[in-house]
Structure 1
Amino acid sequence: MEWNWDHAYAVLPQLLKGLVITIEATIVASLIAYILGLAIAILKMSKSKVTRVSLYWITEFVRRTPILVQLYVVFYVLPDFGIFLEAFTCGVIVLGVHFSTYTSEVFRAGIENVSKGQWEAAKSLNYNPYQAWKHVILPQAIPPMIPPLANYLITMFKETPLLAFITVVELFRAADQYSNSYYTYLEPMTLVGAFFLIVSIPSAMLAMKLEKKYKQVKVA
Structure 2
Amino acid sequence: MNWSWDFVAQIMPALLQGLLVTVEITLVSSVVALALGLVFAVAKMSPVDGIRRPAVVVTEGIRRTPLLVQLYFLFYVLPDLGVLLSPFLAGVIGLGLHYATYTSEVYRAGILNVSAGQWEAARACNLTQRQTWTEIILPQAIPPMIPPLGNYVIAMFKETPILSAITVMDLMGEALAQANFNYRYLEPITLVAAGFLIVSLCSAALIKFLENRLNLRAA
TM class by shorter chain equals: over 0.9
Which position in structure 1 is the counterpart of 2:122? 122
Asked if structure 2 preserves the Cα contact closer than 8 Å seen for 1:87 and 1:168, the reply is: yes
Partner of 1:78: 78
Equivalent position of 1:17 in the other structure: 17
Paired residue for 1:96? 96
Q: Which residue of 2 aligns with 1:153?
A: 153
The aligned amino acid for 1:106 is: V
Q: d(CA) in 2 for partners of 1:103 and 1:217? A: 23
**Which residue in 1 is equivalent to 2:30?**
30
Separation in 1 of the partners of 2:214 and 2:159?
26
Aligned to 2:137: 137
The residue type equivalent to 1:80 in the other structure is D
Question: Residue 201 of structure 1: CA displacement?
Answer: 1.8
> 1:63, 1:11 → 2: CA distance?
37
* Runs of 5+ unmatched residues, structure 2: none
**Structure 1 residue aligned with 2:169:** 169
CA deviation vs aligned residue, 1:148-194 (integer Å, no higher than 9, x gap) = 10100100000001111111110000011111111111111111111
Moved more, 115-124 or 164-173: 115-124
1:142 partner amino acid: I
CA contact (8 A) 1:88 1:168 kept: yes
SS at match of 1:3: coil
Match of 1:6 in 2: 6
Letter in 1 for 2:123: K
TM-score by length of 2: 0.93
Q: Which runs of 5+ in 1 are unaligned?
A: none
**Map of 1:204 onto structure 2:** 204
CA shift, 1:53, in A, is 2.0
CA separation in 1, counterparts of 2:20 and 2:206?
20
Preserved contact between residue 147 and residue 214 of structure 1 (Cα < 8 Å)? no
What fraction of aligned residue pairs are identical, expressed as a percent?
A: 54
Cα distance in 2 for partners of 1:215, 1:157 equals 25
CA root-mean-square deviation: 2.0
How many Å separate the matches in 2 of 1:180 and 1:162? 17
Give the TM-score normalised by the residue count of structure 1: 0.93
- How many residues align? The count is 219
Cα pair distance change 1:117/1:217, threshold 3 Å: farther
Please state how far the C-alpha of 1:109 moved relative to its aligned partner: 0.4
Q: Deviations over 1:37-73 (max 9, x none)?
A: 0111111111112322221121111011111110000
Are the counterparts in 2 of residues 144 and 214 from structure 1 also a CA contact under 8 Å? no
